[in-house]
Amino acid sequence: MTERFRWAVRRLSPRHPLVAVAIALAAIATLPVLAVIARGIAPDAAQTWTHLVETALPAYVANTLLLALFVGAGAGVAGTATAWLVAHRRFPGAALFDWALLLPLAMPAYVMAYAYTDFLQYAGPLQTVLRDAFGWSRGDYWFPDVRSVGGAAAVFAFSLYPYVYLLARTAFLERPRALAEAARTLGLDRKRVFWRVELPLARPAIAGGIALVLMETLADYGTVAYFAVDTFTTGIYRAWFSLGDRAAAAQLATLLLGFVVVAVALERVSRRSARVSGGQRGRMVALSTKLPLRGARAGVATLVCALPLALGFVVPVLLLVRLLADLEPEVARFAIWSWNSFRVAAMGAALAVAVALLVAYAARLAPGGLTRSVSQLLTLGYAVLGTVLAVGVLLPVGALDRWIAAAVQQATGSSPGLLFTGTVIALLYAYLVRYFAVAWNGIEPGFARITPAMDAAARSLGANSAQTLRRVHAPLLARSVAAAFLLVFVDVMKELPATLIMRPFNFDTLATQTYQFARDERLSEAALPSLAIVLVGLAPIVLLSGTMRGWRRAATAAATPAT
């Protein structure tokens, strides 16, 4: 063995047992993706691939690319325009829009799709009023079909633009004021300063936000399935459950994974390009003055910010509330769905936070390339779409069940059946792989804020690693752990594709039941669980807006000279 290998083995010795555990967790997390790729490129899948290319694949590729193009453009324009106005202009309602423009993040796209479909379809209130008012009948007028690629793109754009808004707003606030002033001294007016200075500086952040929007769009199943838009996610679901073709599902999942890798690469490159020199951030925020708008310009600015907020949150909520007016909800069934949702969300969040805490502590005990690579490998699971992840989990879990059943039958003569497939255990496994990154991003910065001197002091007093974690780090990490738990909890509550595919028999959550009601055109009954999901989703928005206000106050205070 080389000296480098001996050193790596010593790092994995009992001195740092958590490192070995972290490596095992990373292997478990990557297993679903490897299973999908292995099944998709298996020799016996060649005939299936040929059939897909000749039949359904062109439509899947065309619709997915068209949807990504429309959604990226719509979310990019809405998020960038509102971010620039809020960051650099003062107008009526600007302080409200500063945080309220984040509210559509609490509205899952599939819930918005159900609300608008009920309102805009032929038998809906809007077209009914138009026909009654003008005496029209079918064929006398044209009305856009909400159940189309365009309708799906509009729903995604208005529900996901806050990703672009959040990143672009930060970039606009942090741009050095001196650059804009230098451009003005060179004779550029405000319009050309925006196009030549401000927008290029914010372009990496905008590209990163659009990449996140595209990842969420590719991951969606409820919206495209309800609108009957054939994309990769609907194709995967149809191949696995309707046709029972695992090879086709794995091949589509592998190809979809390739689209996601491109989006992730774009987002990471944009983040590297968007770095701001340290030590100047607070000053940039403090010096970023806002030009007051008056008259018609102020009204236009207010309208530009109010339109995406209204279409992405206010109107869908009002439409859902309207659907509740004539509904007599079955309290008992709603309580069961709520309890199932709360139970799996709490268990999934607790598991993800516990694993993230373990891996982060392992990286603290044994810093270096090995633990850093393990953490990065684990966080890649967030880029794996729910439908792909479900297929990836079901393949190895099903193989494990078959192996256990064969071993038990050989030993006892009776088969135990499926032990993990179709159980909450497999579902929690999928949640862990999918949302570990969310928990990690909440906990790892908390560890970074704790000085290593505190660890050394604890060790000098005789505390071991476990005691140091319990007595020193745990109290300091309490807020970070709580925030991470909340974020994962809400994400699991809203998650539809993996839950729909992997849930146990007769196990319904708010998300799956909302989808079932909408699929059966029982939109009034879908309103109550939909509103419950939205209300739960408001919690991280409130947390995020509070964090943003606190950060701005701290930045302004840091940049203000002492008197």
Q: Are 168 and 213 in contact (CB under 8 A)?
A: no
Q: Are 32 and 392 in contact (CB under 8 A)?
A: yes
pLDDT at 311: 92
pLDDT exceeds 80 at position 235:
yes
pLDDT exceeds 90 at position 556:
no
Phi, psi of 328 (to 5 degrees): -110, 90
Treating both helix axes as pointing N-terminal to C-terminal, what angle do 17-40 and 369-379 enclose, rounded to 10 degrees? 40
pLDDT at 42: 67
Instruction: Check whether residue 532 and residue 464 sit in a common domain.
Output: no
pLDDT exceeds 60 at position 288:
no
Least Cα distance to 111 among 423, 515, 448 occurs for 515
* Residues whose CB falls within 8 Å of the CB of residue 392, separated by 6 or more in sequence, listed in order: 31, 32, 33, 34, 35, 36, 253, 384
pLDDT at 12: 40
Tokens of 92: 């009526």
- Count CB atoms within 10 A of the CB of residue 131: 15
How many angstroms separate the CA atoms of 546 and 548, rounded? 5
Q: Are 36 and 391 in contact (CB under 8 A)?
A: yes
Instruction: Check whether residue 476 and residue 525 sit in a common domain.
Output: no
Confidence class for position 549, pLDDT limits 50, 70, 90: low
What is the SS3 string spanning 64-98?
A: HHHHHHHHHHHHHHHHHHHHHHHHHEECCCHHHHH
pLDDT at 134: 83
Q: Is residue 340 part of a domain?
A: no
Longest CA–CA span in the chain (Å) reads 88
| 78 or 451, which is more confident | 78
Tokens of 204: 């990496």
Instruction: Check whether residue 280 and residue 318 sit in a common domain.
Output: yes
How many angstroms separate the CA atoms of 224 and 311, rounded? 19
Instruction: Check whether residue 265 and residue 414 sit in a common domain.
Output: no
- Count CB atoms within 10 A of the CB of residue 261: 12
Number of domains in the chain: 2
Least Cα distance to 384 among 444, 435, 440 occurs for 435
Alpha helices in 380-423, H assignment, sequence order: 386-412
| Rounded to 5°, angle at Cα 433 from 271 and 509 | 115
Q: Are 356 and 438 in contact (CB under 8 A)?
A: no
pLDDT at 45: 58
The range of the structural domain enclosing residue 308 comes to 77-323+519-552
Confidence class for position 546, pLDDT limits 50, 70, 90: low
Of 76-80, 447-451, 457-461, 472-476, where does the model show the most confidence?
76-80
* Residues whose CB falls within 8 Å of the CB of residue 446, separated by 6 or more in sequence, listed in order: 476, 477, 479, 480, 481
Q: Following CA atoms 320, 324, 327, 329 in sequence, which dihedral angle do they give, to the nearest 10 degrees?
A: 90
How many angstroms separate the CA atoms of 356 and 18, rounded? 12
Query: What's the mean pLDDT when you consider all of the chain?
Result: 78
Tokens of 472: 């020193």
Q: Are 166 and 160 in contact (CB under 8 A)?
A: no
How many angstroms separate the CA atoms of 519 and 237, rounded? 15
Q: 3-state SS of the chain: helix, strand, coil percent to 5?
A: 80, 0, 20
How many angstroms separate the CA atoms of 547 and 144, rounded? 40
Instruction: Check whether residue 81 and residue 37 sit in a common domain.
Output: no
Q: Is residue 72 part of a domain?
A: no
In order of 47, 81, 207, 378, the CA distances from 72 in angstroms are 34, 14, 9, 27
Instruction: Check whether residue 111 and residue 206 sit in a common domain.
Output: yes
Instruction: Check whether residue 217 and residue 360 sit in a common domain.
Output: no
Q: Residue 557: helix, strand or coil by DSSP?
A: helix
| 164 or 28, which is more confident | 164
- What does the pLDDT average to over 374-388? 72
Q: Is residue 156 part of a domain?
A: yes
Instruction: Check whether residue 312 and residue 379 sit in a common domain.
Output: no
pLDDT at 7: 44
Tokens of 108: 């899952």
pLDDT at 157: 94
Q: Is residue 512 part of a domain?
A: no
What is the SS3 string spanning 260-320?
A: HHHHHHHHHHHHHHCCCCCCCHHHHHHHCCCEECCHHHHHHHHHHHHHHHHHHHHHHHHHH
| 189 or 107, which is more confident | 107
Least Cα distance to 386 among 511, 205, 533 occurs for 511
Tokens of 381: 């699971």
Instruction: Check whether residue 446 and residue 498 sit in a common domain.
Output: yes
Q: Is residue 71 part of a domain?
A: no
pLDDT exceeds 80 at position 139:
no
Q: Are 263 and 211 in contact (CB under 8 A)?
A: yes
pLDDT at 176: 60
Confidence class for position 277, pLDDT limits 50, 70, 90: very low
Instruction: Check whether residue 89 and residue 167 sit in a common domain.
Output: yes
- What does the pLDDT average to over 247-255? 76
CA of residue 66 relative to chain centroid, distance:
21
Instruction: Check whether residue 29 and residue 88 sit in a common domain.
Output: no
- What does the pLDDT average to over 335-364? 87
Confidence class for position 69, pLDDT limits 50, 70, 90: very high
Least Cα distance to 345 among 139, 205, 183, 512 occurs for 512
pLDDT at 329: 65
Lowest mean pLDDT among 72-76, 157-161, 197-201: 197-201
Q: What is the CATH number of the domain that holds 235?
A: 1.10.3720.10
Instruction: Check whether residue 498 and residue 524 sit in a common domain.
Output: no
pLDDT at 13: 43
pLDDT at 276: 44
pTM for this predicted structure = 0.77
| 479 or 79, which is more confident | 79
Confidence class for position 192, pLDDT limits 50, 70, 90: confident
Lowest mean pLDDT among 24-33, 181-190, 317-326, 403-412: 181-190
Confidence class for position 70, pLDDT limits 50, 70, 90: very high
DSSP 380: G
Q: Are 462 and 471 in contact (CB under 8 A)?
A: no
Share of the chain above pLDDT 90, in %: 9
Can you spell out the DSSP letters for 305-363?
HHHHHIIIIIHHHHHHHHHHTT----HHHHHHHHHHHHHHHHHHHHHHHHHHHHHHHHH
Residue with tokens 């799996």: 344
pLDDT at 179: 66
Q: Is residue 527 part of a domain?
A: yes
| 187 or 345, which is more confident | 345
Q: Is residue 36 part of a domain?
A: yes
Q: Is residue 55 part of a domain?
A: no
